[in-house]
Amino acid sequence: MQIAYLWGNPQIANGSFVKLPAGFKGVIESDNELKAVVVRGKATHQWNNDINTKTPLLPGSFLRSQGKGEHRINIETELVLYINSNGRYNVE
């Protein structure tokens, strides 16, 4: 995993690129508003523990949250996201 901060402060509002390898299964956690756009790659997405809904993510797809929550990501091919967040987020 690689993160490149483009602007702002990682603890406050920021914009960044996040690169995740093929086969990565993890979570993007945030306590704040978060918006992400897929720049490259293919994955599926679940919001929090909603096991009934898997949304495909392809270039141009986006995900977002208004507050605290977890974006569960299952990467099929190397994924690059642009993330705009109003605060700190974690990728695990």
Concatenated DSSP letters of the chain: -EEEEEEE-TTSSEEEEEEE-TT-EEEEEESS-EEEEEEEEEEEEEETT-TT--EEE-TT-EEEESSSEEEEEEEEEEEEEEEEESS-EEE-
Q: Is the pLDDT of residue 67 over 90?
A: no
Render pLDDT for 16-56 as a digit per residue (tens, 0 to 9).
999 999 999 999 999 999 999 999 999 999 988 777 788 99
Q: Please give the tally of structural domains in the chain.
A: 1
The CATH number assigned to the domain holding 46 equals: 2.60.120.10
Query: What is the bridge-based pairing of β-strands 2-8 and 69-85?
Result: unpaired
- What is the pLDDT, as a whole number, of residue 33? 93
Q: Which domain holds residue 27?
A: 2-91
